[in-house]
Chain A
Amino acid sequence: MNWELLPQSIINGILTGGVYGLIALGVVLIYKSSEVFNFAQGHLLMLGAFITWWFAGADETGEELLNLNLGFAVIAALIVIFLLGFLVERLALRPMTGQPLLSIVLMTLGMALLIEGLVSIVFGINVKPNFPAPISRIEMFKIPFEYQYNGIIFVQKLRLAAFLVAMFLVIVIGLFFRYTRIGLAMRATSEDHELALSAGINVPRIFGFSWAFAGVIATAGGVLLAMLTGASLTLSTVVLVAFPAILLGGFGIFPRGDHWWHCSWISYRNCQDIHRD
């Protein structure tokens, strides 16, 4: 291993890992509320990133309906994914209630393939490097550090911004589950379905909401990652990286900051591998 590259890897790992942690929250959210392990989360993320890209009018063929700036494009994509989450839960997951685990897992896997196919036919299979970003990707902070190769650690400004946004969203989600009515209802549902039902909570609707919110979280994570790397079909694989982090962080608990920290660790290990090759 090349120790001189380690400080840079750690910094990049922690910054990217923050975003992965946000993504992992979406998987845990669905699992805790409806006990469905969503293998399609990565594909929701990719779909969110591509829809944002489309709303931002980056296709540049002149055929796109809208040329929103990034902020409005993100909001529009969030609304679309929010509704899509409800739809997915109602059409695909509701009929699977009470089915064995294998069927539910395969349902999410089938959905993942379907989304991948639809995205590649609608948006094309090429990488979209022109994903709009508020800050240029090449702007860097330079931090002098004597043990690093060349003595300087480069911190991409955009990556730092993505990290801060992810942190902010994790806190917002935490507050949402603590103080809002629907957040509390979702926590109650995750504790016990029957008790929640008897307390007057509409459990099927909560399942729908958890898919919708998971889609929103996925889209937010997808947009943050797509800003860094461009929108591509391989965005869906980042969730495979988040899975070990989720297992390490634990399913048993409702989404909280812990996952974020474990994800950073995993991501840092990945960066090590990348640098070694």
Chain B
Amino acid sequence: MAVIRPSGDFDRNYNQDMALIRKPWQWVLLLLSIGAVATSPYWAPPYVYIKANQIGYTLIAVQGLNILTGFTGQISMGQSAFMLAGGYISALIVTYLNLSFFIALPLAALGAGLVGLIFGIPSLRVKGFYLAMATLAAQFIIPWFTLHMFPEYLGGQNGIISAPVPVIGSYEFNEPARFIHITLFVLILTTIAAVNISRSRMGRAFVAIRDNDLAAELLGVNLFGYKLRAFFIAAVYAGLAGALRAHSSWQIGSEMGYDLSESIIFLGMLVVGGLGTNLGPFLGTSLIILMEDFSNIVGTKVSAVMLTGMTERVLTSFRPIFFGLILMLFLIFEPRGLAYRWQLFKASWRLRPFSH
């Protein structure tokens, strides 16, 4: 990515050119912010680290979706179903095979990735919203499967099974204050992977497929192979996110917010943050999740002042209204998302006081 840099700031060797983080102060800031999140259970109110945990695992799913939809341009409306698959696989492995959560987590990611591959197979033939329909099918088939098949293992019509608490030695990750360290660790790994995928041969092939699939094929990009890889990576990320979410809330079930609207919210987070940027998922996910809480606060205040007696009605309806409005306004006024705004902001400060 072409980066506008101030004059005098240039690379002297190959290592500098390849470095993601160029300046010592950037390292300091990064480590400080990671340290701040990691130690937040010791100094911040519970709200902060509970939300940080939630944003963390949602972010992993959105990063995966970003690789599939943002970089490769394949619309997927099944991301939360792949999360469900990952969560179930991890919970079942820990419960019935008595393996540690830390072995089950990569296995769940792999399992969800394979499920994603199955639903990615039509992607060679179908495009656009026909593909959206194919992935929409995943969103219906996977929850149906968990509700109707193998009721003794998958919870049947109750739709809920318990996910055991991860343990190292005698240390139990049984509350968000402790679980956040696992989430943060996985998030760092997935972020490193996502950033490096986007600047490797694979990432460039993804972008080529998004921009013009015929031209990409002529340039020697194996369309089917790379589309499947994108689906696999997206589903692996979703599987990680699903396993983390399942084990941090101790249970997993198709009735617990893994439905179509959740997949749509992931897409919305991606668009608000910025499609095809590595920063986008961070900004979009944080904004939308914090906005949901904000809408709850506003809803409570509003129902206390003017719409008395309709508190429940107001609370359930403010969330879709806020989300729908934010999504529509972003699509009309800033389709490139918050990440692009951040780029503009950085550029204007970098060139200050000569802004042109």
Does A199 count as interface, using CB distance less than 8 angstroms?
no
Q: Is the CB of B313 within 8 A of A110?
A: no
Does A65 count as interface, using CB distance less than 8 angstroms?
no
Q: Is the CB of B321 within 8 A of A125?
A: no
Size of A's binding interface in residues, CB under 8 A = 28
Does A118 count as interface, using CB distance less than 8 angstroms?
yes
Q: B267 contacts which chain A residues (CB < 8 A)?
A: 102, 106, 109
- Asked if A105 meets B132 with Cβ closer than 8 Å, knowing A112-B324, A121-B321, the reply is yes
Q: B268 contacts which chain A residues (CB < 8 A)?
A: 106, 109-110
CA distance A7 to B261 in the complex (A): 35
Q: Is the CB of B331 within 8 A of A107?
A: yes
- Asked if A110 meets B317 with Cβ closer than 8 Å, knowing A101-B75, A101-B128, A105-B129, the reply is no
Q: B320 contacts which chain A residues (CB < 8 A)?
A: 113-114, 116-117, 120
Q: Is the CB of B275 within 8 A of A125?
A: no
Q: A114 contacts which chain B residues (CB < 8 A)?
A: 320-321, 324-325, 328
CA distance A243 to B260 in the complex (A): 15
Nearest A residue (CB) for B332: A95
> Main secondary structure on chain A at its contact with chain B?
helix
Q: Is the CB of B271 within 8 A of A101?
A: no
Query: Could you tell me which residues of chain B, from 244 to 297, have a CB within 8 Å of some CB in chain A?
Result: 261, 264, 267-268, 271, 275
Question: Min CB distance, A221 to chain B, in Å?
Answer: 21
CA distance A106 to B335 in the complex (A): 11
B69, B130, B317, B328: which contacts A247 (Cβ < 8 A)? B130
Q: Is the CB of B75 within 8 A of A117?
A: no
Does B316 count as interface, using CB distance less than 8 angstroms?
yes
Does B224 count as interface, using CB distance less than 8 angstroms?
no
Question: Min CB distance, A53 to chain B, in Å?
Answer: 16
Interface residues on B, range: 20 to 34
User: Which of B69, B313, B324, B335 is packed against the most chain A CB atoms within 10 Å?
Assistant: B324
CA distance A37 to B310 in the complex (A): 35
Query: Could you tell me which residues of chain A, from 95 to 150, have a CB within 8 Å of some CB in chain B?
Result: 95-96, 99-103, 105-107, 109-118, 120-121, 124-125
Does A197 count as interface, using CB distance less than 8 angstroms?
no
Q: Across the A-B interface, how many residue pairs have beta carbons closer than 8 Å?
A: 94
Does A92 count as interface, using CB distance less than 8 angstroms?
yes
Question: Min CB distance, B125 to chain A, in Å?
Answer: 13
CA distance A112 to B324 in the complex (A): 8
Does B319 count as interface, using CB distance less than 8 angstroms?
yes
Q: B331 contacts which chain A residues (CB < 8 A)?
A: 95-96, 99, 103, 106-107, 110
CA distance A111 to B327 in the complex (A): 9
Q: Is the CB of A113 within 8 A of B264?
A: yes
CA distance A113 to B329 in the complex (A): 13
Q: Is the CB of B317 within 8 A of A113?
A: no
> B125-157 CB contact bits vs A (8 Å, 1 = yes)?
000111011001000000000000000000000
Does B314 count as interface, using CB distance less than 8 angstroms?
yes
Question: Min CB distance, B257 to chain A, in Å?
Answer: 15
B130, B310, B316, B327: which contacts A109 (Cβ < 8 A)? B327
Q: Is the CB of A96 within 8 A of B332?
A: yes
Question: Min CB distance, B165 to chain A, in Å?
Answer: 34
Question: Min CB distance, B65 to chain A, in Å?
Answer: 11
Q: A107 contacts which chain B residues (CB < 8 A)?
A: 327-328, 331
Query: Could you tell me which residues of chain B, from 309 to 348, have a CB within 8 Å of some CB in chain A?
Result: 310, 312-314, 316-325, 327-328, 331-332, 335
Q: Is the CB of A110 within 8 A of B327?
A: yes
Q: Is the CB of B264 within 8 A of A37?
A: no
Q: Is the CB of B133 within 8 A of A110?
A: no
CA distance A37 to B75 in the complex (A): 13
Q: Is the CB of A110 within 8 A of B129?
A: no
Q: Is the CB of A117 within 8 A of B319?
A: yes
Q: B275 contacts which chain A residues (CB < 8 A)?
A: 102
6 contacts between A and B (CB under 8 A): A37-B132, A92-B332, A95-B331, A102-B275, A117-B321, A120-B316
**Interface, chain B (partner A; CB < 8 A):** 69, 73, 75, 128-130, 132-133, 136, 261, 264, 267-268, 271, 275, 310, 312-314, 316-325, 327-328, 331-332, 335
Q: What would 4 more interface pairs be, CB under 8 Å, given A95-B331, A99-B335, A247-B133?
A: A96-B332, A113-B327, A116-B317, A117-B322
**Interface, chain A (partner B; CB < 8 A):** 37, 92, 95-96, 99-103, 105-107, 109-118, 120-121, 124-125, 243, 247
